[in-house]
Structures are given as structure tokens and as C-alpha cells.
Amino acid sequence: MSIILNVPYAEKDRAKAAGARWNPNIKKWYCTELNDALRRWYEDGDDGSGGAGARAGAKRTAKKNSELSISDGFWDDGLPFGGGESIPASSSEDLAEDPRYRAYKTVTEVNALISDTVQSLPEFKNICVKGEITNFSGRNNGNYYFHIKDENALLPCVLWASVADYALHFEFESGKKVAIAGRLRIFEKQGKYNLEVREIEEMGAGEARLKYLQLKRKLEEEGLFDIAHKKPIPKFPKRVGIVTSKNGQARKDIEKVSRKRNPFVELILYHVNVQGQNAVRTIVEGIRALDTMGLDTIIVGRGGGSDEELIAYNDEAIARAVFAAATPIVSAVGHEGNWSLIDYVSDKRVATPTEAAEETIPDIMTTIQRIDQLKKSIDDNMKNNLRQKELLLQTKKARLDSFDPVRLLKERRERLSVLLERMRPQMDLVFDDRMNRFKILVTRLHGLSPTAKLVSGFGYITKDERPVVSVQDVNAGDRVDIRIHDGLLRTRVEDTAEDSQV
């Protein structure tokens, strides 16, 4: 419950140091527990009638639902709720106009009445309770949030980190029996309560914990937990069974993961009660039924819960049904901190149904995408290589074409034709020049030729086809030939005489 304080502005720092808190919505200081240091501002209440008057004024304010901190979005501890948004003023004033509803109390008034009644009783300010720890899932910002239970009821508790540092002297875990001293706190806005722990002592293991440990030891001694009995989980299943509730989040999570990873896997659901008196029977029936269908894998689990809600998965019948199954079984009870007996017996244990689907169903869609990417990469590389080879081929072809004999012959023929065209006039000039020179030489040679002189009466004398150049070359009676310009005279020498003898 919030107690409105009348704190002058000049004394706000002292009030804050003493434990007062400021509500910016109603612009007033308040506290949840009145101590001696804060009493001075409480006794100087708005109505001037001391503590009782100030408290009555606070109650009237709550009744009007305008100034009490609950209507302004704050819990009893001053923390905002609902994202810090103010709760709209109720229609109690409108209802008050109707005489039929004048006797009705508002929700705020009822919760304030409960809070005043409970917290005014001395036995709730310092209460001692014993029970078994349950629903503890680990520290949260150093604080311990849990329940203690007996065979009939649960009590929510909180052990603050500051208290745990000096009050906790044992390993805190579910299943232990403890004795707690503390105070009962009422949260008016939520309509809830819890036991705020001031002292805690270990009393030993609770009955449920002892039964669990005894059964676990028994099954372990029988070999139900041995690794040698663990069956491998198929990497590429075609049909996967699910033993869970058709209405639970576990089924939805598995289906969602399966569609994303491999939509071709067939999922077969066996609906069971995951908690309650029929849970064990239906879960055992589900395991046995799916085990006869020749499936690749069976997932057994649920979407988490408290220790009491998960108790069915500690049952011996379920553990033995899992052990007897020929189909590999994955347990996914959804309890990250503690293991149920089914987790020890199953072929693979995971924390959540989502993780079970990820472990059971291969991510072929990612593989397919990867293959598509590799295929595209290969295609791109092949196209690039092909383009490079085409360019290289074109270069080689161009070089090869430069050595083509047909082309070379054609080019040379063309060049020859051009040269011939260019050489022909030059050759004619050279020919004419040579012809002229030839004629001159012929003329000159003709002038020097002996036969040319023969025309003038000269002859050419030979003996045995050798020229006769001296009278000494012939004797009287020798036959000689005389060649003149138009024929040959065959003669015989009658006599010879030298020039000195003539």
C-alpha cells in the first residue's frame, strides 16, 4: 500500500534519504512502509489531524481513484507498470451517481482493504513457513524467484540478492526443503502477494525430491541411462513423430522450424495431455503408437513449465516406454535448468521443442540455397572463363589467319599484280634501252666481222677447218677451202712462195 507524505520542498532530500519516493504523476511523495524517519511528514498530513487523519485522507484519495499511486501507473514499490502508462480513471464516479451501485467498492478499494487488513496483522509482518523449493530456474539479476510447496499448495517467494549474500548458506535448488522467515507483501495493483524472505535455512530434501532421486538411481542401476543404448538420430529423416499437445506452443514451434528447414519432412502428431492426471498414460500411449509406425525419429516434449507442470516426465512408465522404443527419441521438455528422467533415458536431450526440431530436421533449405549460390557462382565462373577463352581464341585465330597460305598467296598475288603493273613500263624502258644497245653492238660487231669484208672481195682460207694464216701452214698439193661471202671454194695448192721469194 502506498502512504502519501506531506514533504516540503526544502526537506525533499532528507525525505528521499529516509526512503520516501516521488510520484511524478500526482506530484506527491509517498512510501510503502512508514518508518520512524518518515513519520514526521506523515503526521504533518494534509488534513492537519495527525497520522490517522493523513491515512484517512489517503484512503479517501484512493476511493476517488485520482491520487492513489495505482491509478498513475506505479506498483507499491514505486516501479511503473504497463510501460509507465497511467491507468485511466475508473467510472466509479459515474457509477456512484446511480443509487444501485453506491454500495459497490472499486477494485482499488478492495485491494487496498486487503492490503491494509493483511499488513496490519503482526503475524504477516514476521511469518515463518516451511516447504519444498520448486519452480526455481536460476538467479535473475542476483535475486531468487521461486515457490515453496507442500502437498496441497504453493507460495510465491522472493529472496533479494542483498539478503541472499548473508542469509543463504547452502546450495539453492528445487527439491530442497527449507524453513523461511519473512514478511508477506501485497501488490495492490496486481492483486498478488509473495513472501519476502529475510532468513532461510535448509531442512533437507523434500519428499518429491527424495522419490525422484530414488527412482533415478534405480533406473540408472538398471542401465537405462547407459550411452551404449543411445540410438543415433537420423541425419535426413523423412517422417518425424511428435508426442505433445495439439494446442501447445511446442507443436507450433516444431512445425515452424520444420517448414523453414525442410518442408518435405512429414510430421505426425500424437495428441497427449502434457500435465494432469492423464498425462503419463497418454504420453506412454503416444510413444508406443508412433514407435510402431516405422518413423525415423520421435520428439517427446512440451513448451516448458513449472516443476509441478513437468512432473509427468519424471514418471517411471514414460522412462521405460522411451527406453523400450525402437525409434530414436529426442526429449524436449523445455526445462533449461533441470533434467527430467525422460532426458536421461532418451537418445538425445535438448532444452526446447525448437531446439529439438533443429537437431532432428536438417536445414536442407539453407543447403539448397547454398547449392543455388554455388551453382550461380559456378555458372558465373564458367561464363567468365568462356568469355576469356573466346577472347583468347579470337586472338589466336587472328594470329593464325595471318599465316593462312591461301590468304598469303592471295595477298602476294595481289602484291605481284601491283608490282607487275609497276614493273611493266620500267621493263619496257629497260628492254628498249637494251635493244638499242644491242643494235649498236650488233652494228659494231658486224663491222668487225670477217664475213662483212668478204662482200668486198675478200675470202677466208681454212685447212682442215683451221684458218690458214701463213704460207708455212700449207704445202703444195694440200686441199684448202676458201669461204667467200656467198659460198665455199674447194681448191688445191699448186705451189707456195714467201713474200721475199715473189
Summarize pLDDT for 452-470 with one digit per residue, the tens: 666 667 778 888 888 888 8
- 501 pLDDT higher than 90: no
Q: Structural domains in the chain? A: 3-118 (no CATH), 122-205 (2.40.50.140), 211-362 (3.40.50.2300), 453-501 (no CATH)
The residue behind cell 701452214 is 473
Geometric angle at alpha carbon 339, from 203 and 350, rounded to 5°: 160
Residues 22 and 57: beta-carbon distance below 8 Å: no
pLDDT of residue 92: 44
242-246, 362-366, 392-396, 421-425: range with lowest mean pLDDT: 421-425
pLDDT of residue 51: 39
CA distances (Å), 207 to each of 66, 204, 210, 244, in order?
Answer: 50, 10, 5, 28
- 381 pLDDT higher than 90: yes
Considering only residues 77 and 315, tell me which one the structure prediction assigns the higher pLDDT: 315
- 240 pLDDT higher than 90: yes
Considering only residues 415 and 292, tell me which one the structure prediction assigns the higher pLDDT: 292
pLDDT confidence bin for 364, thresholds 50/70/90: confident
Beta strand ranges found along 169-219 (DSSP E)? 176-187, 192-205
172-196 residue pLDDT tens: 988 888 988 888 988 888 888 999 9
pLDDT mean across residues, the chain: 81
Q: What is the largest CA-CA distance in the chain?
A: 204
- 56 pLDDT higher than 60: no
pLDDT of residue 43: 54
Give residues with Cβ within 8 angstroms of 144, minimum separation 6: 136, 157, 158, 159, 164, 168, 172, 197
Give the mean model confidence (pLDDT) for residues 331-351: 85
pTM score, two decimals?
Answer: 0.47
